[in-house]
Structure 1
């Protein structure tokens, strides 16, 4: 469930484009178009293995447009963010942008959050962002245009084999305008990114994994939530690790990848120094010595 990386830059870019409202709405629509319901009836987090959760709604004209689910029990620390605009096919609206800002700020302030999963509550559509915790995009449906751009802003992408992905803006005589021209080349390489963007090509989950666009491609199930379930498994792997260490590791990677190696190593050293005085580090050493599982508190 790790999900939002670079969210702030996405929204800043979105604000710039807001003058062109129709284009912005199309971009937003793609943002959270992941398949995440079992039928025409919306089901939030259909499978939680019996664990409860707290759902938060954010003030808006349509309060159901965005649902943020804080899992509890063994999954405490995992947050599932779902977009629910079925009639608009998850099109990004001014209201949805406002709700996303509120949700991101809420999550950022919550030190108990370990990872975030970004998904859609609308069947057959995915749309996916900057948080300090790991973010995972679960793509079970179509992630086209802005939808793929949002997924590219996440740390990790997981898709079903039947999912469809592509930056198709050139078909409309425009270009990706929410980070697609910058993030896609960084993920799959310049030449291949140019090919996909120039040709407005759409690929499925299997092809996306082969080119490195997604980390995992899983066979879709009858419920249409195979990518979400795989994302949940990954979030559960991340959850027990030291939360401050995870945040610092993400910061070091994200900042270091943009600079030369020497500067990157300096960034790593600075991030490493932040974990040394933490209680979690001492707990990790004690747990290792005592041959037990550590209990990290993010302190």
Structure 2
């Protein structure tokens, strides 16, 4: 696929996916969602990619929301399909990738932009970042997982307040809430994300994928996260990474994980 709205490059095991619609503050439209799905799928399936960093182009916005002009005239059924398709193609898809995804929030992350950041496995933000879910100010609610993921990350009361007021919080407040893990200067944001990615890459990619499945299971209806953890823990003993990791520990050397 030839990308019109995003950039994607892989260097030293890190795939950086950049939403590149600066004139629209990187707003999500259907074309961008399709391109992001393709880029994430390719990165996740590539043996060259160990970690994915997601960010926005320019200095103003990560993603400043969805492209409202695309759905302003939608019917009830069209609205339902918009949310269902978007979650399937991108938001749930990202959340359940086996490759770690770090969202590097470099400015406004509003509406679908914050929902996309929350779908990543964790988030870091620049000092100028602003985050919020302003959908109720348009007479609609978050439809890409925002009503579910925000309470999981910041707690029910804070999520209710953020959604009901349609207000924004800054990076420091997001850090206090637990919505982001770290805050950096704008200049240091991607460098810091790459440092975190490098730390991740030193460990077993097989074990990390297994841990993602176990953690996510706790938030799935009908799933028992403890049971999933037990199952994934047991599977680890059959991997080559486990054999290498334990042998390296016993031999007091650094592990060289084969990723199998």
Q: Same fold (TM over 0.5)?
A: yes
Partner of 2:179: 213
**C-alpha deviation, 1:107, in angstroms:** 1.8
More relative contact order in 1 or in 2 (CA 8 Å, sep 6+)? 1
Work out whether residues 25 and 63 of structure 2, in 8 Å CA contact, stay in contact via their aligned partners in 1.
no
3-state DSSP of counterpart to 2:17 = strand
**C-alpha deviation, 1:100, in angstroms:** 1.4
Work out whether residues 27 and 113 of structure 2, in 8 Å CA contact, stay in contact via their aligned partners in 1.
no
Counterpart CA distance in 2 for 1:275 and 1:112 is 22
**C-alpha deviation, 1:256, in angstroms:** 2.5
* CA RMSD across the alignment: 1.8
Partner of 1:248: 210
**C-alpha deviation, 1:88, in angstroms:** 2.2
Partner of 2:7: 67
Partner of 1:270: 231
How high is the TM-score relative to the length of structure 1? 0.72
Residue 163 of structure 2: which of 197, 201, 207 is its match?
197
**C-alpha deviation, 1:111, in angstroms:** 3.5
**C-alpha deviation, 1:202, in angstroms:** 0.6
Residue 41 of structure 2: which of 102, 105, 117 is its match?
105
How many residues were matched structurally?
A: 230
Partner of 2:79: none
Residue 136 of structure 1: which of 102, 108, 119 is its match?
102
* Pair 1:287–1:193, CA change in 2 (3 A): same
What per-residue deviation string (whole Å, max 9, x for no partner) do you get for residues 38-58 of structure 1? xxxxxxxxxxxxxxxxxxxx3
How high is the TM-score relative to the length of structure 2? 0.83
3-state DSSP of counterpart to 2:160 = helix
Counterpart CA distance in 1 for 2:115 and 2:219 is 19
Partner of 1:230: 192
- Unmatched 5+ stretches in structure 1: 1-57
- Unmatched 5+ stretches in structure 2: 65-90
3-state DSSP of counterpart to 2:58 = coil
1:298 aligns with 2:234: no
What per-residue deviation string (whole Å, max 9, x for no partner) do you get for residues 246-284 of structure 1? 0001110111244689x3221111111222111111111
